[in-house]
């Protein structure tokens, strides 16, 4: 017959086992609650898309600088400043405006003289310059698609495009009197935890027949990361 001590031991062991099972269940429930709260917190604090710009509740969304890379605001400033200077120049006032018919102008690629990959920004910049010139109604613009077709037909390399002699030859084939071109440069500086990049857009207007630079202007824009 089992002794009273044996019953006590079994009773204690059984109680301990039940206690351990209950402890594990409580721990699992606690971990589940923590994970659920974490998911809620992540979902509640995660990124969300917003719409900004004119006509929205966030008209200032495009104004803050997000990085030292050229953004839409910078490109718009560089294009507007250079084209405004062109329209105030002697070649514009004395020759283009006074011409009996609007002269044909071709926008040539702008050279990237920076160390950054900014092909998309340059494409946007060319579109802005083209828009300003078209809307002036003082010049006729060659379609950039037609220019690209001609480049492909002649099987020109990228390096050939920036050769003034090549540009002049293509300009004559397109029937253009002037072509607008230029380059973007940058100076990148760092001091402790501050980084500043100074961009310059040098815009040129070249007469196709003579190859002479009839207009040149430089606009600058600085971007910085501080702290």
Query: For residue 87, what are the domain limits?
Result: 72-225
Q: Domain containing 177 — which CATH number?
A: 3.40.50.10610
Phi and psi at 132, nearest 5°, equal: -60, -45
Confidence of residue 149 (pLDDT cuts 50, 70, 90): confident
pTM of the model: 0.72
User: Which contacts (CB < 8 Å, 24+ apart) does range 30-39 have?
Assistant: none
The model's pLDDT over 96-129, given as tens digits with 9 standing for 90+, comes to: 999 999 999 998 889 999 999 999 999 999 999 9
> How many domains does the chain fold into?
2
The model's pLDDT over 57-79, given as tens digits with 9 standing for 90+, comes to: 776 777 777 788 889 999 999 99
How is 185-218 classified by DSSP, letter by letter? EEEEEEETTEEEEEEEEEEEEEETTT--EEEEEE
In a domain, 58, yes or no: no
Q: Are 21 and 113 part of one and the same domain?
A: no
């Amino acid at each position: 017959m089992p002794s009273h001590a044996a019953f006590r031991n079994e009773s204690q062991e059984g109680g301990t086992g039940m206690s351990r099972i209950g402890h594990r269940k409580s721990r699992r429930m606690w971990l589940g609650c923590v994970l659920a709260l974490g998911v809620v917190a992540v979902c509640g604090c995660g990124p969300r898309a917003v719409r900004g710009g004119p006509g929205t509740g966030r008209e200032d969304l495009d104004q803050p600088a997000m990085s030292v890379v050229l953004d839409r605001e910078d490109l718009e400033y560089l294009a507007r400043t250079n084209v405004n200077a062109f329209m105030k120049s002697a070649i514009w006032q004395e020759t283009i405006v006074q011409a009996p018919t609007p002269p044909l102008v071709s926008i040539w690629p702008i050279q990237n003289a920076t160390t950054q990959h900014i092909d998309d920004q340059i494409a946007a910049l060319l579109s802005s310059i083209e828009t300003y010139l078209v809307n002036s109604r003082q010049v006729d613009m060659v379609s950039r698609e037609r220019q690209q077709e001609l480049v492909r037909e002649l099987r020109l390399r990228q390096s050939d495009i920036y050769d003034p002699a090549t540009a002049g030859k293509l300009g004559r084939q397109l029937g253009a009197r002037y072509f607008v071109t230029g380059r973007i440069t940058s100076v990148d500086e760092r001091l402790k935890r501050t980084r500043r990049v100074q961009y310059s857009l040098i815009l040129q207007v070249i007469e196709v027949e003579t190859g002479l630079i009839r207009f040149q202007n430089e606009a600058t824009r600085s971007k910085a990361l501080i702290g």
